Amino acid sequence: MNILNALSGVAGEGVKKLFQEIKNLASLHSNAKSLRKEIDRLKGIGDDIKSQLRGKGRQPKLVVRNWLDRQAQIVKFAEEVLHQYEQSKSLRFCGCCPHCLLIPKSSRKILNSLAEIVKLLKMKDSDFPKSDDLGEPPGTLLQPMENKLVGKFVHEKLLEMETWLLKDESLRVVGVYGMPGVGKTSMLKHINNNEKVVNFFKLVIWVTVSRDSDISDLQRRICDRIELPWRPNLSIDEVAGLLQTVFKERQLLLILDDVWKRIDVSKLGISTSDNKIKVVLTSRDKEVCRSMKADKMIAMKQLSEEDGWELFCRGALPAGEDQNMDSEIEPFARSIAKECKGHPLAIKTLARTVPQLQSSTPSEWEYVLKQLKEINTQFYRIHENILRDLFKPLKHSYDALESDELRLCFLYLAAYREDEEIDADELIQLWLAEGLVNSREEGRHDFLRTLVNRCLVEIEVREANGHQICKVKIHDVLRDMAVHVAEVDQNILFRAGQSLTEFPKSASATSVRISLMHNRIRILPESVNCEKLVTLLLSWNTFEEVPESFLEKLNMLKVLDLSNTPIKFLPSSIHQLKHLLYLQLSNTQIKVIPHQTFELSRLQFLDLSFSPLKNIPSMIKKLKSLQTLNLAHCYDLEFVSSDISQLTSLEELDLWKSTMFGNSRDVRVGGESREASLQDVCKLHRLKHLRLILKSQIEEKTVGNLVKLQELWLLWMPEVRQTYLPTDMVAMHSLERLHLYNCHVKGTPDLFPELQNLKYLKLKSSQILLTLSGLGLATLSNLNEIDIEECLLLTELGEEFGRKGCFPRLRKLKLSMLPSLESVCSFVEEGALPMLQTLTIFRCMKFKVLPPGLDNLNSLEQIKGEKEWWNEISWRNEEMKKHVHAKYVEIVEIHDNYHV
């Protein structure tokens, strides 16, 4: 009887489930309509939150960011569910084929999505702060600077300024003035990075003003700094009102470096009547400080002879000023230092050009002094802002460079506008095109390093996506000197960022290089008589066409940059540029590449990224010398010919966010060729850098030919279920950086141990990944960074992360937006992760307990996370909390997905 009752109960449960399934199917259509409404509603709430934050120039607090993360995930999943439902509607329900299973499955997924949305909305109502307290201001950005400034006067003024800013409530504006190269900017960098100043002001904004800056440009840069999207449709007054709202009741320090004329700070949202806001500015002109109503002013002056000597020794002597100098050399060295007249920039630069102390003789130093005094400043048309006393030591530093190629590499920096941060890779690519360097490695590790060591340039290196981004900057005085030396000595015309409205008439038949970047040239002349011209840089101008005859006399041209202009066509005369190696057309309006372009048989670099390009025809195969082809973010690109596989010299191919690649298909366009497939790309055996979007799985024996690949980015479309990586990837022995997006990898354990050169791994949006255990990452001897993001089901990393002998060189571990992650591992052994320096935990809502033994990591320097997350951690013991707390660093930047 009991058995019968039990069977009856089971049957009853089955019948109930069946009836519920039938009921769900009957209401499927109405549920789908409800889900669409709820998705739109959820999107509207998210947009409203972001709008509130934008209006106040704030970044979302932790609970708000977590909610927005979850909102984005739910919306993405729900829209995929609706897409599947729409597909299933077109199928005929017979009840017996696999397709019929889609319909009840869609019904269950729709109901689950509706339930998740209800749950998320309840979370918002219960957990959110008040609507006027959803965000917080961005933090202070530190400025790169020297560790120590020289001179008693400078240290006195630093202390004086600190006191004014922190304790004088009546003070609003501080002005620092003095001749170029005297140390104004260096002093302000110390103020910007001063811990007391940073703690006092809730927001510190640094803006380099420059000669050609206008109010609109300054407004845009301030908006960028506070993560406030730039709105070009707003007037200057409207932006000013918006900024004033953002800064209202905010403890703010605005630093304006290198001001050339009076700036109306009210247009920057600054009210000088507000005692919470203060402004510090530097200028070469005392009257500019007065015109901006500075309450206090500091006059920077040259270093005393003894301070100048100390600074010179710091640069000239291997061990700094503590090393004794030969008594026969010292008189010449002091005379050389005196020639700088106390200018810190000149002293630092000149000190790096003198002979090495250990291997030099007094006669060599005497010769340097003689050369320095013999420089004829009258020969040069010295700019009014370059003092002749300052010009002589700087010119000597330039003359002392070892080769003509290195001197030209330095002069090339003046092709860019004043105060621009120059991308080192872009700069070196131009050096390569001109034949000044033989390789990227020589450009970066030899030439650029030499310029840095000579204090002729500054560089800032930061890492992103496992790759070093190097920015190069030249002091505006050195740039002014380079502009004039280039014009007089080398027939080079550099006029970047000078608001020119027409092509300069000073361009002549002897001109070798011309840079007119960042001007307002609206019309190019019909022709230019510059038969010796090698380089022509015209980016960031407003001309809409290149006249047919404009290029006809430029037969020697090697470098042509027309990027960031509204041109729609290239002239057919482009084919006459037989020596052209570098063609930059990024962010233009070009839809079609003229067939004459494919006659440029020497072309090595072609960039058409961010253009409305429609197709890459079969004629692309004629560019046999092409080494770099950039087609990233060409959203209208519909067709790439399979003949791309014949670009046998290609080393870099970038099709990120452009067309999608699948497996081979014989689809022909106009009868000329078929569409390129993944197999075609994989025939390019010289590729070192590749970025692609995939619309199908990678099959076995497809990618094994890419043995020279160093960097690989792959993004699968959401409907593709790539659950493994092809085993022939083991042939990629040179692979250093691997980015996998929407790759639902859960295995391939035999693959990763073979990639022993792998330094960086990024896994994003892997929807079935539960753990990193079993992937075989722990034994990679060169892996120094792992970045895991938006893997919704990942609950742990794996026990090998706490085991001694695993991950021998891992330096950075970044975990972002992992809603299910609860732990890294259960315990960290002594000796585990011996080189780990940075652990980042970013928007991992369930990660509340740090693993015991984490304090065993002796190399750990930082644990980065949001302040709210850190405050919610449950500590196992006070000793661990005390030990680890000293390593905590608050994350203040906004993730790319949240530029609100």
Per-residue pLDDT band at 146 (split at 50, 70, 90) = low
Q: What pLDDT shows up at residue 888?
A: 83
* Digit-coded pLDDT (tens) for 574-609: 999 999 999 999 999 999 999 999 999 999 999 999
Q: Provide the pairing of β-strand 277-283 with 252-259.
A: parallel
Which residue's structure tokens are 């933090």? 139
CB-based contacts of 682, cutoff 8 Å, min separation 6: 702, 703, 704, 705, 706
Kindly report the backbone phi and psi dihedral angles of residue 729, in degrees, each rounded to the nearest multiple of 5, phi listed first.
Answer: -65, -15
Instruction: Please say if the pLDDT value at position 13 is more than 70.
Output: no
Q: Which residue has the higher pLDDT, 184 or 139?
A: 184
Per-residue pLDDT band at 787 (split at 50, 70, 90) = very high
The b/e string for 356-380 (b: 16+ C-beta within 10 A; e otherwise) is ebeeeeeeebbebbeebeebeeeeb
- Which of 45, 36, 44, 27 lies closest to 114 in space, CA to CA? 36
Query: Is the CB of residue 427 less than 8 Å from the CB of residue 473?
Result: no
* Digit-coded pLDDT (tens) for 666-686: 444 455 578 999 999 999 999
Q: What pLDDT shows up at residue 406?
A: 95
Instruction: Please say if the pLDDT value at position 12 is more than 60.
Output: no
Q: What pLDDT shows up at residue 724?
A: 82
Q: What value does the mean pLDDT take over residues 879-899?
A: 62
Put residue 871 in one of left, alpha, beta given phi > 0 → left and psi -120 to 50 → alpha: alpha
**SS3 breakdown of the chain: % helix, strand, coil, rounded to 5?**
40, 15, 45
Q: What value does the mean pLDDT take over residues 471-482?
A: 88
Instruction: Please say if the pLDDT value at position 142 is more than 50.
Output: no
What single string gives the DSSP state of each residue in 499-538?
Answer: ---S--TT--TT--EEE--SS------S----TT--EEE-
Q: What's the rounded Cα separation, in Å, for the pair 566 and 544?
A: 5
* Digit-coded pLDDT (tens) for 208-224: 887 777 888 888 888 87
Helix (H) or strand (E) holding 79: helix 62-89
Q: What pLDDT shows up at residue 685?
A: 94
- Which of 873, 888, 778, 795 lies closest to 840 in space, CA to CA? 888
Kindly report the backbone phi and psi dihedral angles of residue 350, in degrees, each rounded to the nearest multiple of 5, phi listed first.
Answer: -70, -35
Helix (H) or strand (E) holding 82: helix 62-89
Query: Is the CB of residue 744 less than 8 Å from the CB of residue 766?
Result: yes
Query: What's the whole-number average pLDDT of the chain?
Result: 83
How would you write 532-553 as a 3-class SS string?
Answer: CCCEEECCCCCCCCCCCCCCCC
Q: What's the rounded Cα separation, in Å, for the pair 471 and 416?
A: 13
CA 26 to centroid of chain Cα atoms = 52
Instruction: Please say if the pLDDT value at position 98 is more than 60.
Output: no
Kindly report the backbone phi and psi dihedral angles of residue 66, in degrees, each rounded to the nearest multiple of 5, phi listed first.
Answer: -60, -40
Q: What pLDDT shows up at residue 711?
A: 95
The b/e string for 27-45 (b: 16+ C-beta within 10 A; e otherwise) is ebeebbebbeebbeebeeb
The pair of structure tokens assigned to 799 is: 């026990």
Q: Provide the pairing of β-strand 277-283 with 173-177.
A: parallel
* Digit-coded pLDDT (tens) for 563-582: 999 999 999 999 999 999 99
Q: What pLDDT shows up at residue 145?
A: 44
Q: What's the rounded Cα separation, in Å, for the pair 61 and 131?
A: 12
Which residues is 865 bridged to in the sheet?
841, 890
Instruction: Please say if the pLDDT value at position 320 is more than 50.
Output: no
Q: What pLDDT shows up at residue 233?
A: 79
CB-based contacts of 35, cutoff 8 Å, min separation 6: 78, 81, 82, 110, 113, 114, 117
Between 105-119, 471-485, 732-746, 885-899, the lowest mean confidence (pLDDT) is in 885-899
Kindly report the backbone phi and psi dihedral angles of residue 463, in degrees, each rounded to the nearest multiple of 5, phi listed first.
Answer: -105, 140
The number of residues making up the chain comes to 900
Q: What pLDDT shows up at residue 26?
A: 59
* Digit-coded pLDDT (tens) for 176-234: 998 887 888 888 888 888 778 877 887 888 888 877 778 888 888 888 777 676 777 78
Q: What's the rounded Cα separation, in Å, for the pair 76 and 759?
A: 31
Q: Which residue has the higher pLDDT, 698 or 192?
A: 698
Q: Which residue has the higher pLDDT, 760 or 15?
A: 760
Q: What's the rounded Cα separation, in Å, for the pair 644 and 678?
A: 11
Q: What value does the mean pLDDT take over residues 267-293?
A: 86
The b/e string for 144-169 (b: 16+ C-beta within 10 A; e otherwise) is eeeeebbbebbeebbeebbebbeeee
Instruction: Please say if the pLDDT value at position 769 is more than 50.
Output: yes
Helical packing angle, 476-490 and 404-412, nearest 10°: 130
Q: Quote the percentage of the chain above a pLDDT of 70.
A: 85
E strand spans, 133-183: 135-136, 173-177
Neighbouring CB atoms inside 10 A of 770's CB total 15
CB-based contacts of 197, cutoff 8 Å, min separation 6: 162, 165, 166, 191, 204, 253
